[in-house]
Each structure stands twice: as structure tokens, then as C-alpha cells.
Amino acid sequence: MAGYVLAIDQGTTSTRAIVFDGKMKIAGAGQMEFPQIYPQSGWVEHDPEDIWQSVLTTVKKAIKAAGIEAKDISALGITNQRETVVVWDRATGKSIGNAIVWQDRRTASYCEKLKRQDLEKLFTRRTGLLLDPYFSGTKLSWLLANVKGSRARAAKGELCFGTIDTFLIWRLTGGKSFVTDATNASRTLMYNIGTNAWDEDLLDILRVPSAMLPEVKDCAADFGVTDPELFGAAIPILGVAGDQQAATIGQACFEQGMLKSTYGTGCFALLNTGPDMVRSKNRLLTTIAYRLNGETTYALEGSIFIAGAAVQWLRDGLGMIKQASDSGALAEKADPTQDVYLVPAFTGLGAPHWDANARGALYGMTRNTGPAEFARAALEAVCYQTRDLLDAMHRDWKNGSNTVLRVDGGMVASDWTMQRLADLLDAPVDRPTILETTALGAAWLAGSRAGVWPDREAFAKAWARDRRFKPEMNEKTRVAKLKGWKNAVKRTLSDV
């Protein structure tokens, strides 16, 4: 067989489908944006039908661009925006409402209520997560409480819950497979990452019926086959992982201590801790990096809600740039004597602060502050937040103090941003030749399972670096800039 592998990368603002050939090179791709829905301040939703149509469209585009047919594809891998919640009717496949997106903050008060009941320690011990609106469990609980009759229907087994991977697999297989993988399950606030099972105690607290939950599989497993009427032939679905875990795999971060950071809508850094379930003392997350052949590998994760979204804000909200790629060139023109800080808490602050009520703020503006200073502040905010995550990781896991950071995602194409990242981290930053590492990770899971792609060791050896960015900023400047950032964050926190 030719070894073609299809990857569906279902993201927050767009869906990509990529066909890789037997040499793990991109043979064809398709991409499509879909609408974001903002019913209220702090609420973010997607229409599941928009997501489904974007998947069908992009897969067909990718197959056509590759010049092949569906029958030539050996395996399909899926990676997805995590924590986003869909509930649908088991009989019809139709959702009971819009998907509630990971960025959505509507359950902030519910999370605070659970904290006041002193339940956060229990959730953290079982799931590795914190009580924050970010995660799926409280979103699901909100849907069951606010869609009339849904909780009773769920208890009868009439409704299905899923993160986006589960919803897509259900649709792709014509309702024959109701499954997820360990990485997506680990982000729900309902999955015990020690026992690798849904946790009945947590389900009771959240009032979620177990009858509506999918079966949890390894990341490389048999998830079903696509309905042949969709693409012209049945394709085995053999790999699934949440987007950040898929990027970790795509970056070949298989060794303990390896670290990657993905810069998309948000920014997510994962540190591979191997079989060690490291309990963070600095409000990072303990999560499943991947589960292969029944063996679980864990990670420390830091989650930043706003990264590329800040550049989108410059483009769409303020009209300061025409396209996202203009941001680096504009930032380079900024006045070096102005210290302008953007704390992009548009939907609260993630790790290590976890302040759902914080909101965005700009500090240090003068009469001479203009678009260039705004652009620099937006890009530097991503670098500062990454520094906060890495500092926390190094405090939690002492072995990682000299880690090289492997980066991926749309923002890493900017040389200016990556150089500033290396400067503020005071550490090397490696950009790979293949930037579509999230899709590549999902494809490797499927391709290796199908036996048409190399095993873990050979895949890791094939990883190639495009460029290494080394720190160039002097220590005095770095210290001053980091001090200014910490001051800006302190002023932004909601309890100050």
C-alpha cells in the first residue's frame, strides 16, 4: 500500500484536513473557517453542524488536492479542540443545542460554588485538573440543567456526551462508534487519570449520568470505520488525541523531560513526565500525554487562553493589521523606549493564575503609543505567559531546568516572535520543518497503528529542525521587562 494517511485537525476557529504520503510528507490539504457564536459576554459556542460540514468539505478538498481516492488511504487520525462539549440524541444524531467551547466562562459561578464546598482537592487528586470553567464537566452539567428534560433523557441512555472527537467519530461511522481516547477523557473533570476510568464520585457531584459517556480507548486503537458513502470508501479510524497531546506526539516529545508549546488560538505547553504522575504545587495541570498499548504517559501542562487570538483582535477588533502575518513586522517598528504591556485576559487568565474573572488590560501607554506598540505588546504577552508556565514547570519538576522548547502552531512562522520568545525565556527555541505538528501527531497514531508508518523510535529520529532561536537579549533588559510584566499581571487579577 502507498501508506497515505488522512488527518482531521478540528480546531477552535477552523478545520484542517491533511493527507500525508508514505514518507510523512503533505500530499494535499484543505482548510475552512467556521462561525464563532457569542451569545453573551464570556460565552462562546459553535454550531455542531458547522463543524461537521467543515470536516466533510476539508476532507474532500484534501483528498482531491492529493490526487488520490479514499480507497488509497490506509488510516484516519483525528485531533480536536479539547474540552468543547456536544450533547446529541442517540437516535437521530442531532445535538440538543450548540457546542459549548473550551473558552466559554459561563460556569465560573458553579466552579466557585464547588470550591466553597471544598471539592477542588478531590477533583484535582482524581483528574489532575482544577475547578475552572475551561474543562468539560461543568459545561456538561450546565447543559443538563438548562435544556429541559435532558438530564432524565441522559439517564435513560437517550443522549450522548462527547468532546469533538467523539461527535465526529459518531457521525463518520454512521452512529456505530461511541468512543473517545484517554487524552480527551482526561480533560473532562470526570475521568480518573490514575485508574483510567470514569469516576462515579465525580459524576455524582456534577449530576452527570454515566449512561451518556463514551468508551475510552488508547490513542492508537480501532475507533471504527467511516461510512463509505461519505468519501467513496471506508477508511479505518485508528488514531485519536486532543490537539495539544497530538502536537506533543507530532513533535516527537516521547522522552521524559521533553517540552513543546503550541501557539494557536491559545498557547499550551506540555512537559513529558513519563510514567510519573507529577502533582503540581504551582497550579499547573497533571494530564495524560498519551496512552499507547495500555501504558499511560503523563505530562505537566500549562494552558494560556489567549495567544493567536490576541493577533486576531489586532486584525479584526482594532483593524491595526490586514493579516495576522503582518504583526511581527509591525512589532519590529515599535518604540524601544516604551514599555507597553498587554495582559490578554479576554476570557480570564489560565495557568498559573486561574482567574476566571480577570479581564484584559493595557499598561504603560503614552500619547505616542500606536499600532506598532500594540502589536509588540500582543506578541510579547504570549512570550511572557510562556515564561510563567516554564518557571512553574521547573519548580514542579526539577529535572527540566535546561529544556529546549519545541514550538509549533501558526504564530511560530514569525521569526520576530520566536526570537523574542527565546530572549524572554533565556532558552533555545526549536522550530520544526513541519509546522502542522498537531495533524502529524494524529496521522502518526493512525499510520503506525495501520503498519504503514514507522514506530515511535524511527518517527522520533525523523523529526527535523527548521531553525533554532538562541537568546540574544542582555540580562538587565530581560529582568526589567519580566518585572514589568509581573506588575501588570498583578494589577489585572480580579482579587486585587
Check residue 322 and give its pLDDT: 82
Check residue 274 and give its pLDDT: 92
CA distance 314 to 155: 45
Q: 299: which 3 cell numbers?
A: 505530562
Single out the residue of 428, 432, 422 nearest to residue 465, CA to CA.
432
160: left (phi over 0), alpha (psi -120 to 50) or beta: beta
Q: Are 378 and 344 a contacting pair, CB within 8 Å?
A: yes
CA distance 152 to 239: 33
Single out the residue of 208, 205, 199, 185 nearest to residue 125, CA to CA.
199
Check residue 345 and give its pLDDT: 85
In angstroms, what CA-CA distances link 195 with 192, 200, 254, 288, 294?
Answer: 6, 12, 22, 12, 12
Check residue 401 and give its pLDDT: 52
Q: Are 266 and 389 a contacting pair, CB within 8 Å?
A: no
Check residue 129 and give its pLDDT: 94
CA distance 113 to 132: 11
CA distance 383 to 110: 31
- Homologous superfamily (CATH) of 4-243 is ATPase, nucleotide binding domain (3.30.420.40)
DSSP bridge pairs for 303: 268
User: Domain ranges in the chain?
Assistant: 4-243, 251-432+464-496
* Phi, psi values for residue 218, rounded to 5°: -60, 165
pTM of the model: 0.87
pLDDT in tens, the chain (496 residues): 568 999 999 998 899 999 999 989 999 999 999 999 999 988 999 999 999 999 999 999 999 999 999 999 999 999 999 999 999 999 999 999 999 999 898 999 999 999 999 999 999 999 999 998 989 999 999 999 999 999 999 999 999 999 999 999 999 999 999 999 999 999 999 999 999 999 999 999 999 999 999 999 999 999 999 999 999 999 999 999 999 999 999 999 998 888 899 887 788 899 999 998 999 888 899 999 999 999 999 999 988 888 878 888 888 888 888 887 788 888 888 888 889 998 988 878 877 887 878 888 999 999 988 888 888 888 999 999 999 888 888 888 876 555 789 998 888 888 989 999 999 999 999 999 888 899 999 999 999 999 999 999 999 998 989 999 999 999 999 999 999 999 998 998 887 5
Q: Which long-range contacts (CB under 8 A, 24 or more apart) does 310-316 make?
A: 310/342, 310/344, 310/346, 310/378, 310/379, 310/381, 310/382, 311/378, 311/379, 311/411, 312/13, 312/265, 313/344, 313/346, 313/378, 314/371, 314/374, 314/375, 314/378
- Homologous superfamily (CATH) of 251-432+464-496 is ATPase, nucleotide binding domain (3.30.420.40)
> Same CATH topology for 4-243 and 251-432+464-496?
yes
The C-alpha angle with vertex 12 and arms to 355 and 200, in degrees rounded to 5, equals 65
